[in-house]
Chain A
């Protein structure tokens, strides 16, 4: 076993007495390749038939641009909204005591567990002009469902747990002594929050924000029911992929897919960098 591990790892692994490196890493990489990398490479290579100019041609189409702008824009705004309210929810759940706290805490994970199609149908029911919430906004001249606002509502729904769950453990571990020190030095509560607490939780907030953003960019099931799906207005990029497929334009669909894939990969890489940076920050 150890022999195998050493022969497999060559010089790129720091020595360890623990066994199983070759087996587990080998299996993990093989499985990752079969399930994730091989299929994704099929996606990445498909638009190659278009050539560079054809690829750019697909992306420069005004409808594709509008859809990408909506998907990324709405996902960004939803992530901002979630970062703000998610911080309040996480803060309240960690710091205060109030009735039904445990139930609320459990509920935060609902968007993970609730199927996206179910979420989409019920959100559309509630936020439609004749729905519970939609009818409240209708007299104000605000329509939520079937407009870009509807897209936003769905994306807020699916993104919330990422922010809250990223923040909770960090808020829990936050050293109160630092806050006390700040107070005894004469800082107001707001100053303490701004200058002491916020910097400490910023990496977690950024991670949550980025995760919510990455998940929202690609979301499909919950959005299509509530979006209205108007080209150039409320048509999201994943829907455009589906539309291209239905026109038998596989390469075009894959081209949009590649752009979105590249974006999610960059976001995840960024998250890992932020986390590594904050870990190093903590150590020093």
Chain B
């Protein structure tokens, strides 16, 4: 890092001058950490404190409840359908956007980002406007006896919408960074498109893909606003975990609510740990994709 031409004295001066005095340094660290503590750490701790406020027995009783397990199963099912769908989309979109130049690319990327900033309430509302009994397709669906909203299908659709950009957003910058030289070489050596994708592209983006899947999955399991609009709240049938938290909370079962919440918070922590491990081991490869 040091400038080759400078003498040792100047170099030391420069080094000193390109960082801050210890006082400023520690003041900045303290400010940053206090902010993190107030905004992030305290809420996380409080979830676990409240969950265990009745002792472990009450906690396990709340977690072992049949309705809770139903909610867990439903949440897993919804995520298991929504995440793979978005992975396929993310790969296709990233391939098209990163490997080719075409008109309207900016617009396409912006549209992919759109669900990210759409209010969760609107994400639920749009499916009601489409598939509700008074929506565009409502009467037709009734004829065919297909239920979409107030059903698992509706939960999946709302979840797919909310988690739509996660994988694509992770992959597009990563694949853009890597360019198309390797793929072009593989093709010119006679490999088929599918083989090229499978043996050249996929290994290059595997860790970025996993990273996107993790975030997508966490959001899919934790979504509240959108699924709340399309769920119907039938106990034991269409309640996902976040909705179950709200129900328990409304039943004055605060320990139960926080117990289920702590499961979700635990999931968040597992996600973060997995993500950090990925970053730590494959930091360089992920660097291109570290924009949310």
Contact = CB atoms under 8 A, between A and B. Distances in A.
Interface of A: 1, 9, 12-14, 16-21, 23-25, 27-29, 31-32, 35-40, 42-43, 46, 85, 88-89, 91-93, 95-96, 98, 102, 104-119, 121-123, 125-126, 132-133, 153, 156-157, 160-162, 165-166, 168-169, 172, 176-177, 179-180, 183-184, 189, 192, 207, 211, 214-215, 217-221, 237-239, 241-242, 245, 250, 253-254, 257, 260-261, 264-265, 267-269, 271-272, 276
Those 7 A-B pairs whose CB atoms lie nearest each other, nearest first:
A218-B119, A115-B222, A19-B193, A113-B268, A214-B117, A39-B126, A264-B117
A31 B92 CA distance: 10
A101 to B, nearest CB: 9
Given A117-B242, A215-B117, A24 B95 contact: yes
B129 interface: yes
Contacts of A168: 290
A13 B100 contact: yes
Interface in B12-38: 13-14, 17-20, 25, 28-29, 31-33, 35-36, 38
A218 B118 contact: yes
Contacts, number: 328
Q: Which among B14, B100, B135, B192 has the highest number of chain A CB atoms within 10 Å?
A: B100
Interface residues of B, number: 112
A49 to B, nearest CB: 12
Contact of B102 (A9, A18, A241, A271): A9
27 contacts: A18-B193, A25-B102, A35-B161, A36-B161, A38-B130, A92-B33, A95-B19, A96-B28, A102-B276, A107-B41, A112-B219, A112-B292, A115-B245, A117-B224, A118-B261, A122-B43, A122-B50, A126-B46, A169-B290, A180-B2, A183-B17, A192-B17, A221-B225, A238-B119, A257-B122, A268-B116, A272-B110
Contacts of B268: 110, 113-115
B222 to A, nearest CB: 3
B178 interface: no
B197 A179 contact: no
Interface stretch (B63-71, B139-147, B180-188): B180-188
B93 interface: yes
For the residues of B in contact with A, the DSSP-based class is helix
A14 B135 contact: no
Contacts of B223: 115-116
A157 B180 contact: no
B206 interface: no
A35 B183 CA distance: 30
A30 to B, nearest CB: 10
Contacts of B130: 38-39, 42
Interface in B51-102: 88-89, 91-93, 95-97, 99-102
A107 B241 CA distance: 22
Contact of B272 (A36, A113, A172): A113
B292 A117 contact: no
B47 A122 contact: yes
Contacts of B197: 20
B265 A118 contact: yes
Contact of A218 (B1, B120, B275): B120
A123 B40 CA distance: 9
Contact of B32 (A92, A161, A264): A92
A35 B20 CA distance: 50
B216 to A, nearest CB: 10
Contacts of B104: 12
Listed residue (A14, A104, A180, A271) with the most chain B CB atoms within 10 angstroms of its CB: A180
Contacts of B276: 102, 105-106
Contacts of B120: 116, 218-221, 238
Nearest to A273: B106
A20 B92 CA distance: 9
Nearest to B24: A189
B73 to A, nearest CB: 17
Nearest to B221: A115
Contacts of A241: 119, 121-122, 125
A24 B273 contact: no
A111 B110 contact: no
B98 to A, nearest CB: 10
A226 to B, nearest CB: 11
Contacts of A276: 106
Nearest to A169: B290
A109 to B, nearest CB: 6
A246 B224 CA distance: 18
| Most B-side CB within 10 Å, residue of A25, A115, A242, A265 | A115
Contacts of B228: 221
